[in-house]
Structure 1
């Protein structure tokens, strides 16, 4: 289902040999980090198409922002084909893809993981990014330009016990990023990944509160423990992830590819 807004913004910037609009797709763009990424691109003047599995979140985004949107379950490759058709039509092409969709997955010891838990997390967090890139790469190749930004996690660096499917999927995201950078580079298509740190938003606070409850801590004590393992002793505002994505999609980053950029204050452990 595609939902169109009355008006769209656009920016012209240098990609390859010509001046082009930055036409952006953001997956899971209806809330959280995804919506912050949408807002950062809109502030830069880009045209944005977002998708989200949550129809209510999509409706709210379209009602309050100059975007077009689709209700899409990115773990379903058939729905991704529909998304590509809707987004390419709405935007008139594609310059930047931000693969943001993901789930936390099961929290349990490895021996307690079910096949379903494993498969669902890898399908949503990793296979979805493959589906999206496969769908949009032909348009980028045809114009010989594009930027792909895949959202990973600092947990790939630190490890995270009892979250094996999540960490493995995100490690796969970084491998996908590296290989796509090499494969698509000759077409002037760049691919990078972002590792968000401990995010200061509703979901981040809920995760910390759940940890505090599990470990018999107060929220403030759990927060202090978390910050003790971040070198800069800070949580990350979602807008910082959006700003980093805008940079990686910009002319300033025109020769940055195959890289993983952490926006985390240097997460040492978790």
Structure 2
């Protein structure tokens, strides 16, 4: 196999992407489909699921609901196994000081961002052992940096990195690789809402908040959802076969948050 060939995932990979109907998840699902994979996604957005490209199967479900996860994995059986699991579901959580964040807000953020990844890992581990497959957990640069006024989000993403490294140790002897991708500021509606909320908290304009964020990035730019998808494809290709237990930032080098 040539080096160039090693950068291309093999045809027919069986792939599950959580929160795969919008944003980063959709970019990942589309990229795998274009690479010849069989792709199944879950999402809470029914309208977005109905608009998925032809050939991507789906389940309406919430990763914070154990019954929805049970139903998801019943649907996944139609793939005949799993080679790649992309644990992408997550929410931004509240933007507030710690004394203002309610226990309900804290728990809800952790339940989706961390417990949701546990639930998917819990159900998919046996399938990935059978295929000697790959799990990709979406964390964030907030999983390696402190993030004022976003403590539930940052805490959950640091925990995802710990989950990733621990699962890599646990599943590695069976040939399963586990990695985390840490996106930076990803262009799209979600970051626009985060910037808006943070600007309001700081009492400054949206434009000033956006420029302040960009000033903290070495390359002074946001990344695209397709940049995250490209990393997921590389990890799934033969060239990524010895990469495991890693927290891989795709962020144009975010220096601080």
- How many residues end up aligned between the 2 structures? 250
Residue aligning to 1:112: 100
Q: Does 1:204 align with 2:195?
A: no
User: How many angstroms does 1:55 deviate by?
Assistant: 1.1
* Equivalent-residue separation in structure 1 for 2:81 and 2:233 (angstroms): 18
Is 1:88 equivalent to 2:94 in the alignment?
Answer: no
The answer to which of 201-210 and 114-123 deviates more is: 201-210
CA RMSD, 1 decimal? 1.6
Q: 1:108 to 1:223 in 2, by over 3 A?
A: closer
Answer yes or no: is 1:65 the counterpart of 2:54.
yes
Q: Distance in 1 between the 2:114 and 2:152 partners?
A: 10
* Distance apart, 1:12 and its partner CA: 7.1
The 2-side partners of 1:107 and 1:225 are apart by: 17
1:168-207 equivalences under 5 Å are: 168-207=155-194
Q: In structure 1, what is the equivalent of residue 126 of structure 2? A: 138
Residue ranges of structure 2 left out of the alignment (5+ in a row):
1-7
Q: Does 1:158 align with 2:145?
A: yes
- Note the alpha carbon deviations across 1:193-217, whole angstroms, 9 max, x for none: 0000111112222322333344343
Name the stretch that deviates more: 154-163 or 175-184.
Answer: 154-163
CA–CA separation in structure 2 for the residues paired with 1:220 and 1:106: 21
1:220 and 1:114, CA in 2 relative to 1: closer, same or farther beyond 3 A? closer
Is 1:98 the counterpart of 2:86 in the alignment? Answer: yes
8 Å CA contact retained: 2:9, 2:233: no
Q: Deviations over 1:15-34 (max 9, x none)?
A: xxxxx731100000111111
Say whether 1:50 aligns with 2:52: no
Counterpart of 1:74 in structure 2 is 63
**Which residue in the other structure is 1:5 paired with?**
none
Task: List per-residue Cα deviations over 1:213-270 (Å, max 9, x = no partner).
Answer: 4434343332221111100111001100011111112211101000000000000112
Give the structure-2-normalised TM-score: 0.92
For residue 136 of structure 2, give the secondary structure of its aligned residue in structure 1. Answer: strand
TM-score (norm: length of structure 1): 0.88
For structure 1, which segment, 176-185 or 116-125, has the greater mean C-alpha deviation from structure 2 after superposition? Answer: 116-125
Could you say what secondary structure the match of 2:149 adopts? coil
Which secondary structure state, in structure 1, belongs to the residue aligned with residue 213 of structure 2? helix
